[in-house]
Amino acid sequence: MKTQLNVPDGTIVNPEVRTRAVRALASRGITLPTFEELSDPRRISPAKMGELAHVHKNDPNPANLFRVHWHNSLTRSEFTHVPEHVVLPSILTGAPSPIVVLFGDRFPMIGAHKVLAAYACLAPRLVTGRFDPTRQRALWPSTGNYCRGGVAISRILGCRGVAILPEEMSAERFDWLGRWVSSPDDIVKTKGSESNVKEIYDACAALEKDPNNLILNQFREFPNYLIHRMATGAAVERVYLQLRERHSQWNLSAFVSASGSAGTLAAGDYLKKRGTLTVAVEALECPTLLLNGYGSHQIQGIGDKHVPLIHNAMATDVVVAVSDRATDALFGIANDENATAAFDARGFSGEVKLALPHFGISSWCNVLAAIKTSKALDLATTT
């Protein structure tokens, strides 16, 4: 396998570092997917597709870099032309319009879309000679899945990845990290929970004094914005266009995403061409955009008390607050067999019932925000 590190002329910052990166990746048989390939997997070569057929999606295998996109199937190794999704009907949500949810758990290694942002932040540094995988550590500050994505990408590329996250995050996150990091020292626990982003920054400031540590701060990394505008925006559009073939009166009225690092919100900028509103969601217990940020919450994956540098705030049309009590309750119901059995009596489709356990806590946060938006703006459909 040939290592591919193509960049336009004149953009290589450090040729010596880039040469070492090329050699290191070549020794591991690594080819880096382009952003265009991750935005449209049909561009991925048949040879690479054939290789993926023999690789499990959760293995630390370099081939899985070509699965870091929205077009993975839950049960098959091949890609889907349209990202897998579910339409939540009004009978379930009470909203005047249907709500469409794309599945983030189809992503490889971590079962969350943050692995896409992690790859996008590190890959440009490799191809331009700004990160030396043979000498430097990649540090991934996060309140959610971004640090897991970063550790997964680091391990595949053969460099040390360090997760920096609050100590009150879920046990599942720490258990996963313990299996993927090179050393227990590569897990840095900071004080607090989702709302304690400043403490993560403080830890980064101390670690950044070592020149061998590279901080990949998703809140200020414009590749995080870029990849979501390209890949996530296009993924949502493909889903909409397929639905529009069956429902000609449907319009893509709003794109809803929790604020977090604001990377995913960039998809809303891509969708503006269709007149789509961009809706940012935050925790009611820590209303940063609404009321300057205070308090603490447990909606894992949404860090608060700050506005990320990459948040295109002037393009954000609506801000919605959702309580962590509501997200926790819905997450529990969706994973309780006795509770979901009641769906049959109410006539919910099997597709919807089977989809609900695939919603994480932050997914329910987005769904609730979409319901509130639909009701507040009366986004009714005629079909």
Enclosing domain of residue 256: 88-105+222-377
Q: What is the pTM of this model?
A: 0.92
Contacts of 364 (CB under 8 A, 6+ apart): 326, 327, 330, 331, 334
How far apart, in whole angstroms, are the C-alpha atoms of residue 349 and residue 355?
Answer: 10
Instruction: Answer whether residue 98 is part of any domain.
Output: yes
Instruction: Answer whether residue 300 is part of any domain.
Output: yes
- Of 87, 109, 82, 97, nearest to 348 by C-alpha is 87
In a structure prediction context, what are the per-residue pLDDT tens digits for the chain, which is 383 residues long?
A: 344 555 555 588 999 999 999 999 999 999 999 999 999 999 999 999 999 999 999 999 999 999 999 999 998 888 999 999 999 999 889 999 999 999 999 999 999 999 999 999 999 999 999 999 999 999 999 987 999 999 999 999 999 999 999 998 889 999 999 999 999 999 999 998 877 888 998 999 999 999 999 999 999 999 999 999 999 999 999 999 999 999 999 999 999 999 888 999 999 999 999 999 999 999 999 888 998 888 888 786 665 678 899 999 999 999 999 999 999 999 998 888 877 777 776 667 788 888 999 999 999 999 999 999 999 999 986 44
Instruction: Answer whether residue 294 is part of any domain.
Output: yes
Instruction: Answer whether residue 277 is part of any domain.
Output: yes
Instruction: Answer whether residue 110 is part of any domain.
Output: no
What CATH number is attached to the domain comprising 235? 3.40.50.1100
Instruction: Answer whether residue 327 is part of any domain.
Output: yes
Domain count of the fold of the chain: 1
Instruction: Answer whether residue 117 is part of any domain.
Output: no
Instruction: Answer whether residue 65 is part of any domain.
Output: no
- Of 262, 297, 300, nearest to 279 by C-alpha is 262
